[in-house]
């Protein structure tokens, strides 16, 4: 007798469906022996349809921006001034124990730069502010990354002339030694490139971070250990360091979407509790400033920090 060969590939799925149905019937039969197990478990056709619709239309795989419906509507600006209210303690006297003739001319005490406060306005210098998590079309052409120009970074009288310097991670820092003694430059990066190089008098070296940092990184000198400054490489140009009077401005930020601007200061770090902004008590949790700008809007932030925060 001639046997007919079954097509296993084509018949496997129906067979599995039959087995599944038999298995489900067996479970239902077993549960039927105990009616208490069925209480509260009555199937609902309406609920099943609702579940299928929810699964079919869920936003799994979509971006946060798409699900929130936010879209850039233009560009805006933030500016303002950061001031200290009340008398601040003086910066500590540095231990200048080497090359005093160059590093401590006249024997005058040299103090650190942890808190640079303008005596007339109370303005706080060297507070750095920078926008977080912006890329693509949300970055204005004026703030786009990829800048390749060099930044001149000098040191005189054993002091870095830029105490807190934000820059783009693609830029090059030309570190010059204008003193008549040798210096050593150590940049301790957390994500980008670190260096440890000697610079003879009148010479310079070049440094390229390569990657952005989440917060400022230290610049120091192994020859003169009291020397210290900070560098902040970022992938775009949305940053500012407050001037001597505490003023700052960041232009062409995207409007219409939620913004997070980070604030950092050497003594405070990211702790901006108990401050006032435009006269109102505010806490910038972890130093974050939440904003949503309107097109062509300029938001002014008058920030007051109590002197007690620096104790």
Q: For 188-203, write each residue's pLDDT tens digit.
A: 999 999 999 999 999 9
pLDDT at position 67 over 90: no
Q: Quote the DSSP letter at residue 127.
A: -
70 confidence band (pLDDT: 50, 70, 90) = confident
Each residue's pLDDT tens digit, 123-182? 999 999 999 999 999 999 999 999 999 999 999 999 999 999 999 999 999 999 999 999
Dump pLDDT digits (tens) for 237-293: 999 999 999 999 999 999 999 999 999 999 999 999 999 999 999 999 999 999 999
Show Cβ contacts of residue 241 under 8 Å, excluding neighbours closer than 6 positions. 125, 126, 127, 128, 129, 164, 165, 166, 248
Average pLDDT of the chain is 84
What pLDDT does residue 311 have? 85
How far apart are alpha carbons 27 and 270 in whole angstroms?
Answer: 60
pLDDT in tens, 202-216: 999 999 999 999 999
Task: Please answer whether residues 221 and 112 qualify as being in contact, where contact means their C-beta atoms are separated by less than 8 angstroms.
Answer: no
Interatomic CA distance for residues 247 and 241, integer angstroms: 8
At residue 253's C-alpha, the angle toward residues 298 and 213, to 5°, is: 130
Give mean pLDDT, residues 32-38. Answer: 43
Print burial letters for 102-130: b (CB count within 10 Å at least 16), e (below 16): bbbeeeeebebbbbbbeeeebbbbbbbbb
N-terminal to C-terminal alpha carbon distance within the chain:
101
Kindly report the pTM of this predicted structure. 0.77
For 188, 206, 231, 237, the CA distances from 212, given in Å and listed in that order, are 13, 17, 11, 11
Beta-sheet pairing, 74-85 with 298-306: parallel
Q: Comparing 2 with 109, which gets the higher pLDDT?
A: 109
Structural domains of the chain, ranges and CATH numbers in brackets:
77-141+242-311 (2.60.40), 145-235 (2.60.40.420)
Nearest residue to 210 (alpha-carbon basis) of 161, 238, 173, 174: 173
Average pLDDT over every residue of 90-96: 96
DSSP 294: P
């Amino acid at each position: 007798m001639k046997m007919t060969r079954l097509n296993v590939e084509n018949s496997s799925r129906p067979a599995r469906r039959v087995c599944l149905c038999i298995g489900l019937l067996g479970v239902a039969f077993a549960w039927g022996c105990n009616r208490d197990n069925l209480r509260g478990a009555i199937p609902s056709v309406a609920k099943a349809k609702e579940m299928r619709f929810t699964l079919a239309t869920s936003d799994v795989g979509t971006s946060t921006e798409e699900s929130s419906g936010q879209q850039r509507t233009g560009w805006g600006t933030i500016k303002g001034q950061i001031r200290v209210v009340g008398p601040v303690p003086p910066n500590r006297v540095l231990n200048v124990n080497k090359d005093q003739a160059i590093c401590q001319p006249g024997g005058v005490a040299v103090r650190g730069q942890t808190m640079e406060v303008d005596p007339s306005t109370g303005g706080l210098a060297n507070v750095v502010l920078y926008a977080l998590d912006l890329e693509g079309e949300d970055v204005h052409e004026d703030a786009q990354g990829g800048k390749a120009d060099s930044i001149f970074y000098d040191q005189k009288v054993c002091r870095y002339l830029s105490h807190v310097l934000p820059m783009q991670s693609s830029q090059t820092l030309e570190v010059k030694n204008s003193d008549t003694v040798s210096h050593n430059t150590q940049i301790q990066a957390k994500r980008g490139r670190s260096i440890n190089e000697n610079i003879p008098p009148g010479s310079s070296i070049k440094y390229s971070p390569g990657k952005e940092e989440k917060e400022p990184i230290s610049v120091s000198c192994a020859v003169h250990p009291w020397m210290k400054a900070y560098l902040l490489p970022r992938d775009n140009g949305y940053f500012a360091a407050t001037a001597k009077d505490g003023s700052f401005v960041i232009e062409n930020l995207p409007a219409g979407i939620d913004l997070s601007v980070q604030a950092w200061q050497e003594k405070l770090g990211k702790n901006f509790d108990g401050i006032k902004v435009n006269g109102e008590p505010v806490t910038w949790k972890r130093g974050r400033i939440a904003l949503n700008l309107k097109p062509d809007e300029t938001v002014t932030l008058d920030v007051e920090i109590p002197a007690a925060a620096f104790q």
